[in-house]
């Protein structure tokens, strides 16, 4: 980050917070490996004049302790 425009305002506390956020965003339940059991993949794309992006995900059903089924995209 030293070459970025943040200069002297970026501290060790910022670095640690960034690393904590990175760990949270790249582990379950936010990020999960794919199921190879026949669960279909969903490809979502978007684009504009300057860039494009894509997300590959699958639907997962999660049963709560109350018995309610919640469907999530991962």
3-class secondary-structure state, position 55: strand
pLDDT per position as a tens digit, 20-73: 999 998 888 777 788 899 989 999 999 999 999 999 999 888 888 998 988 877
Q: Are 37 and 62 part of one and the same domain?
A: yes
Cis before 54? omega within 30: no
Q: Are residues 3 and 26 in the same domain?
A: yes
- Whether residue 54 is found in the same domain as residue 25: no
pLDDT of residue 54: 96
Average pLDDT, integer, range 4-31? 86
Q: And the tokens for 17?
A: 């917070």
**Domain hosting residue 12, numbered range:** 1-31
Same domain as 48, residue 19: no
Residue 2: band (very low, low, confident or very high) from pLDDT cuts 50, 70, 90 = low
Same domain, 27 and 40: no
């Amino acid at each position: 980050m030293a070459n970025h425009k943040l200069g002297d305002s970026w501290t060790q506390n910022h670095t640690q917070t960034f690393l904590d956020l990175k760990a949270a965003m790249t582990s379950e339940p936010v990020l999960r490996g794919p199921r190879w059991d026949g669960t279909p993949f969903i490809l979502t794309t978007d684009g504009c004049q300057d860039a494009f992006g894509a997300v590959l995900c699958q639907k997962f059903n999660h049963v709560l302790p109350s018995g309610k089924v919640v469907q999530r995209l991962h």
